[in-house]
Structure 1
């Protein structure tokens, strides 16, 4: 059993979207004020779920920080296009340094190491933001450090920077300061959303085995074949949620269609779709929030 949990999802949105969220979002979800991040021109709002996870609406209201500013982990999101750009893991029972030490140990072990993909994790870096009520929220973020490994995919598939694995986020102040998951006024949503169902990871056809090895070491658990995939080209990792009760999954799947390949070429290898579990029945088991754009990558219902 892994001690790793999904912490939150990062949805990069432009300023008009942030200041006046579209109807497809407000008709489905309750949006909670976030705050301004210290040290850089970014801010957020949150969509909080009862399982302790949340969807972060992240916005650059001015110029993003330079990529060489190592004290600002969010700088990697500066070149990214609007949409799903990243997600965070956590371990609520293990401190950041111990958690990352264990992950890096697994990535350095024989015989697979990091599967030749050139991935390890840096030391945790402090982060914070001030809420609208003046409370300062503090955490530690641990981002992956990339290098060119023997099996690292071509740079043409991750234009805008590599984000083909998630980062970690551990609380320093009380988790309730950052995620008000015990407040039903914030976690009750018009669509019946109750938590994260799945984060889908899109990888090149010739690197599926390597990414399964890599994610096994990062998550601390083994994958299972996706029973709903007759071609056997997607695999499921069962992870936890901070509040328990939910059963989020990380799904690593092979890019097999022209649309999949185009998506990787435009946005990079990695996080492509988000499934949100609901308490309401959904026709055909799942439905996207909209027909195109950002809303088409966010699904409601039983996604697996």
Structure 2
């Protein structure tokens, strides 16, 4: 199984702001549909389904930290301390939770096993996840997350247990049609410090099981795939090139540094760039 298929990109806004965020993204030219509340009850989302069958997850915590007692798991949620903006990205997993060589016999490998064969200890063992849609349909998946070692600009994997078409409703096709003319993800650009660049680039090589098709001392690029793409998205790892980008990296520390997400648009579609409530967007032909 390929380990470089783009599944979705995560955009976080402050607690309780999901409805406001949905309206802001609609004003930017995106068709936004309802998502639902996650199993733990701490987060809720809305979705922007792209014609290449990847999607944007617009997510927020349902309540601020002060709403919960000190012992609540809300405080240790992996995104609990994240600043709003583009916070994460996911590749498509295979939905396998159990160790195929453990009790119960052999079977297909877990994503974590596949990647850890290339770079030992890079990913944790899988954990289950889920969400209930507003129409009551229950969705289940398996998450394969990078281990907390070094900098964390690596994707997590989301592998469906229930039918992915229920999680990512690309049908009817109207769900993937956007007023801005967006047809697919063009690139995801991640910024890291010069001192972290080489390590992160080598780790991404291990994740996608391929060397960057273009690499210099300050930038590396990888081809990704999508389930229904006419153009391959590019994953770009860069060091900062101006003062704004330096400030972005310094403000993020060791957190994933997704600086911008670009979309390719059909002829006559939107052009240029914009800043969503908390993240940079680029439209390209």
Whether these two folds match at TM > 0.5 is yes
Task: Sort the Cα spacing of 1:16 and 1:145 in 2 relative to 1 into closer, same or farther, 3 A.
Answer: closer
Number of aligned residues? 269
The equivalent residue for 1:130 is: 132
The equivalent residue for 1:29 is: 30
The answer to whether the 8 A contact 1:107-1:120 is kept is yes
Task: Sort the Cα spacing of 1:253 and 1:66 in 2 relative to 1 into closer, same or farther, 3 A.
Answer: farther
Runs of 5+ unmatched residues, structure 1: 109-118, 153-161
Task: Sort the Cα spacing of 1:102 and 1:261 in 2 relative to 1 into closer, same or farther, 3 A.
Answer: same
Task: Sort the Cα spacing of 1:69 and 1:244 in 2 relative to 1 into closer, same or farther, 3 A.
Answer: farther
- Measured against aligned partners, the alpha-carbon deviations of 1:59-97 in whole angstroms (never above 9, x if no partner) come to 101145899988x9x9111111111111111146x8565
Task: Sort the Cα spacing of 1:18 and 1:280 in 2 relative to 1 into closer, same or farther, 3 A.
Answer: farther
TM-score, length of structure 2 as denominator length = 0.83
Task: Sort the Cα spacing of 1:243 and 1:8 in 2 relative to 1 into closer, same or farther, 3 A.
Answer: same
Query: Is the aligned partner of 1:234 residue 2:245?
Result: no
CA distance in 2, matches of 1:137, 1:22: 22
TM-score, length of structure 1 as denominator length = 0.79
In angstroms, what is the RMSD of aligned CA positions? 2.9
Runs of 5+ unmatched residues, structure 2: 98-108
- Measured against aligned partners, the alpha-carbon deviations of 1:90-125 in whole angstroms (never above 9, x if no partner) come to 146x856532211011003xxxxxxxxxx6111111
- Measured against aligned partners, the alpha-carbon deviations of 1:246-302 in whole angstroms (never above 9, x if no partner) come to 41111011123332221112123522211112113568xx52134x8525x111124
Task: Sort the Cα spacing of 1:68 and 1:15 in 2 relative to 1 into closer, same or farther, 3 A.
Answer: closer
The answer to whether the 8 A contact 1:66-1:75 is kept is no
CA distance in 2, matches of 1:68, 1:106: 37
Stretch deviating more after TM superposition (77-86 or 162-171): 162-171
The equivalent residue for 2:266 is: 279
Query: Is the aligned partner of 1:294 residue 2:278?
Result: yes
The equivalent residue for 1:106 is: 118
* Corresponding residue SS for 2:122: strand
Task: Sort the Cα spacing of 1:62 and 1:258 in 2 relative to 1 into closer, same or farther, 3 A.
Answer: same
* Corresponding residue SS for 2:21: coil
- Measured against aligned partners, the alpha-carbon deviations of 1:20-43 in whole angstroms (never above 9, x if no partner) come to 237652131011000001123210
The equivalent residue for 2:20 is: 20
Question: What pairs up with 1:71-86 in 2 under 5 angstroms?
Answer: 75-86=77-88
The equivalent residue for 2:158 is: 169
Stretch deviating more after TM superposition (7-16 or 26-35): 7-16
The answer to whether the 8 A contact 1:3-1:240 is kept is no
CA distance in 1, matches of 2:51, 2:284: 15
The answer to whether the 8 A contact 1:191-1:280 is kept is no
Question: What pairs up with 1:92-103 in 2 under 5 angstroms?
Answer: 95=96, 97-103=109-115
The equivalent residue for 2:57 is: 56
Question: What pairs up with 1:146-157 in 2 under 5 angstroms?
Answer: 146-147=148-149, 152=150
CA distance in 1, matches of 2:155, 2:85: 15
The answer to whether the 8 A contact 2:127-2:142 is kept is yes
CA distance in 1, matches of 2:207, 2:71: 25
